[in-house]
Amino acid sequence: MAIGAGLAPGSLYYAVASMSDLRDRFVATAVPFMGAVYGTALRMSGRPDVAEDVTQETYLRAFRTFDRFQRGTDCKTSSTRTA
């Protein structure tokens, strides 16, 4: 049975299944570019601690809006531009 199959939209279980699917897609799509985001932030700031903070904030912002992400968009360019 697929995730969320047989669950009523709007139910708590449906929401949890949907969030799990969203998280899995985010990890597969965006996380591979985390090094590029960190590298960009490090070059811009020159400080590893600032680059870590910028990377964390970038990925938090990206996850919050990932449900609006259009497949086929260049995720690496979007992520480094956000940083």
pLDDT for position 79 = 60
Q: Which of 32, 29, 33, 36 is nearest to 66 (CA)?
A: 29
Residue 43 falls inside a structural domain: yes
Residue 79 domain flag: yes
Q: Given this model, what pLDDT does residue 26 score?
A: 87
Question: Could you tell me the residue range of the domain that residue 55 belongs to?
Answer: 33-83
Residue 3 located in a structural domain: no
Whether 20 maps to a domain, the answer reads: no
The total domain count for the chain is 1
Confirm whether 65 is domain-assigned.
Answer: yes
pLDDT tens digit at each of 83 positions of the chain: 444 455 555 555 545 557 788 888 889 888 898 999 999 999 999 999 999 999 999 999 888 888 776 666 655 555 656 55
Is residue 60 situated within a structural domain? yes
- The pLDDT value given to residue 71: 66
In a domain? residue 18 = no
Query: Domain for residue 83, yes or no?
Result: yes
| Residue 16 token pair | 């949890």
What pLDDT shows up at residue 38? 95
pTM of the entire predicted model:
0.63
Distances (CA, A) of 70 to 26, 39, 62, 73: 12, 25, 12, 6
